[in-house]
């Protein structure tokens, strides 16, 4: 969910003439090939993935692990501090800035301070969430937190690091949002949380196309959708690359889809290696009766799917989503009705923005462990494609604004130009 927008950010910065070096581990390197084929000057610093007692051998990202492994992954990556430091110190013309995901803050911010260069946080989110999450730690009295007030210890345990303080103290923030969505809240975030103007809404950053093994054939899915005669008649059900459902949740979801009578596409995660090692109740198994009972009116897809292409198809009218920001963005840009089931972390802030502030989504369920009532869920699914919704109309309009923002002269396009100008001037 974070890697592909980061690659698109690199694409946009390369288009504007900046030299890019990706720090990457061997197993992730093939995903970078499409970007390097477009931008041959993009360089790589390939470092072995550090070993960690909690992470199975051969795993180098969160795609194959449950969310409970995030601290372990971050702790493992923090061991790259020293080799990256040595690379910088020995480089004849080292980079002038570090741009990295906000998850790596516990060691990349101290690294940037040690090197005396700027560190920019890439937050695949929007001002509403960051303002809510960071405002409580942004000030001590009347003084904005800065380098002098942050303990520059490299924390190998993310739970011990004051990551929000590190993020706020960083030189700049990049948001995968757009100015028209963030509105005045972006100005509030700059003034009252950051204490400076170096925050840029530069999205939507579309996922840069990559080759992913074991992916579903796009042609087969599109052919099935093409056979659906009515527009906005299919419900798409998907919970992103990280969320997994318990057996009880899968049973209730299957029952709800069955009772609704709607045409559907349901994407299901493959089993994760971290769970096979003894993790929590991670079933994500479709009930054995479901596919036979719903044969002819839906598809169950396992593993990676062409989600953006599915959502953009004329036949898809609604999307049952966990409200992860990247998935939400794809839904907004496609103009579908968003059926919100926020589960954890920033999902709740995203849902509040979508439902209460923007009016482009409908709340269906809430909570990571919540088991929805199948009858109520069936009603939501049936009505989501059975009548017109003002929320869908507003989503369509907001999607148009988002696309305009990244076109030449648009607000996000100009924000990227401004960012590059600032980086190039110092």
What integer pLDDT is reported at residue 216 of this predicted model? 56
pLDDT tens for 216-274 read: 566 789 999 999 999 999 999 999 877 888 889 999 999 999 999 999 999 997 765 54
Chain position carrying tokens 């074991």: 214
Fold classification of 218-403 is: Rossmann fold (3.40.50)
User: Which tokens hold the place of 13?
Assistant: 């910065």
Residue 346 CA to residue 197 CA, distance in Å, equals: 23
The mean pLDDT value of the chain amounts to 87
Residues classed as catalytic: 2, 101
Question: Which of helix, strand or coil describes residue 340?
Answer: strand
Chain position carrying tokens 């929320």: 391
Query: Has this prediction a pTM greater than 0.85?
Result: yes
Q: Which residues of the chain have pLDDT under 50?
A: 140-150, 155-156, 158-161, 212-214, 274-280, 282
In Å, how far from its chain's centre is CA 134? 18
Q: Could you please report the per-residue DSSP string of 122-184?
A: EESS-HHHHHHHHGGGSEETTEE--GGGS-----SSGGGS-HHHHHHHSSEEEESS-HHHHTH
pLDDT tens for 111-134 read: 999 999 999 999 988 999 999 888
* Class of domain 3-208+405-424 as given by CATH: alpha beta
Other CB atoms within a 10 A radius of the CB of residue 118 amount to 18
Question: Which of helix, strand or coil describes residue 324?
Answer: coil
Supply the DSSP symbol for 26.
Answer: G
Q: Nearest CA to 210 among 373, 358, 106, 63?
A: 63
What integer pLDDT is reported at residue 154 of this predicted model? 52
Domain ranges of the chain: 3-208+405-424, 218-403
What integer pLDDT is reported at residue 141 of this predicted model? 35
Please check whether residue 142 is in contact with residue 161, taking contact to mean a CB–CB distance below 8 angstroms: no
């Amino acid at each position: 969910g974070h890697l592909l927008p980061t690659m698109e950010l690199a694409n946009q910065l390369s288009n504007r003439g900046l030299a890019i070096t990706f720090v990457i581990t061997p197993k992730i390197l093939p995903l970078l090939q499409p970007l390097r084929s477009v931008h041959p000057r993009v360089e790589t610093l390939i470092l072995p993935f550090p070993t960690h007692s909690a992470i199975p051998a051969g795993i180098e990202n969160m795609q194959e692990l449950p969310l409970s492994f995030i601290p372990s992954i971050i702790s493992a990556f923090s061991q790259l501090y020293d080799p990256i430091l040595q690379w910088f110190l020995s480089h004849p013309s080292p980079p002038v800035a570090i741009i990295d995901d906000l998850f790596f803050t516990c060691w990349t911010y101290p690294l940037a301070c040690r090197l005396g260069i700027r560190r920019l946080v890439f937050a695949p989110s929007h001002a509403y969430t960051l303002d809510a999450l960071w405002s409580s730690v942004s000030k001590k009295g009347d003084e904005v937190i800065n380098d002098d007030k942050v303990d520059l210890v490299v924390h190998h345990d993310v739970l011990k690091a004051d990551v929000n303080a590190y993020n706020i103290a960083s030189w700049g923030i990049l948001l995968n949002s757009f100015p028209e969505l963030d509105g005045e809240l972006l100005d509030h975030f700059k003034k009252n949380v950051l204490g400076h103007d170096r925050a840029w809404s530069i999205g939507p950053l579309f996922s840069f196309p990559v080759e992913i093994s074991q992916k579903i054939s796009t042609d087969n899915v599109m052919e099935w959708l093409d056979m659906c005669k009515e527009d906005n008649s299919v419900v798409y059900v998907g919970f992103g690359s990280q969320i997994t459902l318990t057996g009880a949740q899968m049973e209730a979801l299957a029952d709800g889809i069955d009772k609704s009578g709607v045409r559907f596409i349901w994407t299901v995660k493959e089993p994760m290696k971290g769970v096979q090692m003894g993790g929590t109740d991670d079933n994500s198994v479709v009930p054995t009766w479901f596919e036979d009972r719903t044969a002819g009116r839906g598809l169950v897809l396992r593993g990676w799917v062409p989600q953006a292409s599915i959502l953009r198809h004329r036949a898809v009218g609604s999307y049952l989503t966990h409200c992860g920001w990247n998935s939400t963005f794809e839904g907004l840009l496609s103009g579908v009705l968003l059926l919100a089931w926020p589960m954890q972390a920033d999902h709740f802030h995203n849902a509040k923005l979508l439902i209460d502030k923007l009016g482009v989504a409908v709340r269906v369920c809430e909570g990571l462990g919540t088991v929805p009532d199948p009858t109520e869920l069936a009603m939501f699914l049936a009505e989501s494609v059975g009548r017109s919704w003002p929320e869908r109309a507003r989503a369509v309009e907001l999607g148009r604004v988002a696309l305009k923002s990244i076109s030449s002269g648009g607000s996000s396009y100009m924000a990227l130009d401004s960012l590059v100008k600032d980086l190039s001037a110092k």
